[in-house]
Structure 1
Amino acid sequence: MPPSSPPLRRRTTMTSGNPYRSSSATSIKGCCCCIGLLFSFLALLSLAIILIIVLAIKPKKPKFDLQQVNIQYINFVATNTIDSPPSESVSLVIQMLFTAKNDNVAGIKYRDSRFTIMYRGVPLGRGTVQGFYQAAHSLKKVKTTVSIDRVNLLQADAVDLVNDVSVNDRVALRVMGDVSAKIRIIGITSPNVQVLIDCSLVISPSKQSLVSKQCGFDGLQV
């Protein structure tokens, strides 16, 4: 009797994980990539449309001009001490009238603007114009009042200021400041547009009027 052959062993191939789960993960990754590409395309398309609109509108920087300066109150008080040279303190109330002109087809949003008033290089005080919104193709007048309370001036500057007010009726001042604004186009706000203002002016205290004015403006286009 021939010897019996050993029983055949069945080979079983073991697979790690679920093939359906692997296929689902691959599909999810593919969908995420498609969504990411879609959003990137929409963002680039929106940016291109905005650039086209901006180039078509050609936004201009705002025109912010100082129109009038009035001295509403002025007072001098002498201050003489042993440890310091003779000086005099001055108190002033100055009102400034600005005009803002918007030549754009879009509105302009102004931020708070600050100005410094100087006499012979000595800062007397600062004024603030509150931020506001200006519609397209419009002219707006804004006022600010600067109250200067007992600013000490050296005797030489104080004497000159007293003579300018009481004798010459001509006071030379310098107004410096910056205006920050943003142009709004179809609900989209542009980067800051900075306009620097430097005005040399002469006012008449008795008439409370502006005698002469020379202003320089320097701005950055959008």
Structure 2
Amino acid sequence: MTSSNTSTAAASIKGCCCCLILLFSFLLLLSLAVILVIVLAVKPKKPQFNLQQLTLQYLNPNPTDSNNVVLTFRMLFNAKNDNIAGIKYSDSTFTIMYRGVPVGRGVVRGFYQAARTEKSVATTVSVDRSKLLQADAEALVRDVSVNDRVELRVMGDVKARIRVIGITSPTVQVSIDCAIVISPSKQSLVSKQCGFDGLQV
């Protein structure tokens, strides 16, 4: 092969590479434009995931007996989707704290929520003696059985993605931090103060 033929082949290969790069760049820009148009049309809103209710299901009145379980809570959450697209939630873990000590964790399994719907999801948390100092365990049982007033803190992160025409948005994380007071005898919330923080991950 002569040097002129080699130069021609090299130029041809270089030209093909430039065409491929331009084609991929065009397709990438087109995809970004389509996604931008969809996002602007849909105007995705942050998912609303709120602690609706926390009730006491079981109490072992003697925290010193051989059965470790002191009490069991049931947490009920309300998920609200105001978007015109569905939301896919990942598994979410919530921690219950008593007197600054983590005493139990509950998991809400991931689920899909259709557009413009509300959904209730629940989880159960068992608090056992091994997670509490003896004084705290006795104080908790006293708050439940005598004072009828239990102050708790519920913390957790909820991660979700909005799905539009097969396109999934970046993960949206909502951090929940609720200071609550419950009345075990009435099975109701006496007070609730929640803070929510949404951010893109």
TM-score, with normalisation over the residues of structure 2? 0.88
The 5 Å alignment of 1:62-81 reads 62-75=47-60, 76-78=62-64
Runs of 4+ in 1 over 6 A off after TM superposition: none
The answer on whether the counterparts of 1:95 and 1:143 sit within 8 Å (CA) in structure 2 is: yes
Matched, 1:100 2:85: no
For residue 60 of structure 1, give the secondary structure of its aligned residue in structure 2. coil
- Which of 1 and 2 has greater Rg? 1
The 5 Å alignment of 1:22-101 reads 22-75=7-60, 76-78=62-64, 91-101=70-80
For residue 17 of structure 2, give the secondary structure of its aligned residue in structure 1. helix
Counterpart Cα distance in 1 of 2:9 and 2:132 = 81
The answer on whether the counterparts of 1:90 and 1:152 sit within 8 Å (CA) in structure 2 is: no
In 2 relative to 1, CA 152–24 (structure 1 residues): closer, same or farther, beyond 3 Å?
Answer: closer
1:12-33 Cα offsets, whole Å, 9 max, x none, are: xxxx627556534432331232
Moved more, 204-213 or 175-184: 204-213
Moved more, 66-75 or 204-213: 204-213
Length, aligned pairs only: 198
1:46-95 Cα offsets, whole Å, 9 max, x none, are: 1022112212322111000011111111223328xxxxxxxxx6522111
Structure with the higher helix share, 1 or 2: 2
Question: Of 118, 127, 141, which aligns to 1:139?
Answer: 118
Question: Of 155, 172, 175, which aligns to 1:176?
Answer: 155
Shift of 1:157: 2.6
Moved more, 157-166 or 102-111: 157-166
The answer on whether the counterparts of 1:124 and 1:151 sit within 8 Å (CA) in structure 2 is: no
Counterpart Cα distance in 1 of 2:16 and 2:135 = 79
Counterpart Cα distance in 1 of 2:4 and 2:133 = 91
Match for 1:112: what amino acid? D
Match for 1:71: what amino acid? L
The answer on whether the counterparts of 1:90 and 1:153 sit within 8 Å (CA) in structure 2 is: no
In 2 relative to 1, CA 221–104 (structure 1 residues): closer, same or farther, beyond 3 Å?
Answer: farther
Counterpart Cα distance in 2 of 1:210 and 1:112 = 25
Structure 2 unaligned regions, length at least 5: none
- RMSD across aligned positions (CA): 2.1
Question: Of 158, 164, 185, which aligns to 2:164?
Answer: 185
The answer on whether the counterparts of 1:62 and 1:102 sit within 8 Å (CA) in structure 2 is: yes
Match for 1:99: what amino acid? N
TM-score, with normalisation over the residues of structure 1? 0.80
Identity %: 72
The answer on whether the counterparts of 2:63 and 2:138 sit within 8 Å (CA) in structure 1 is: no
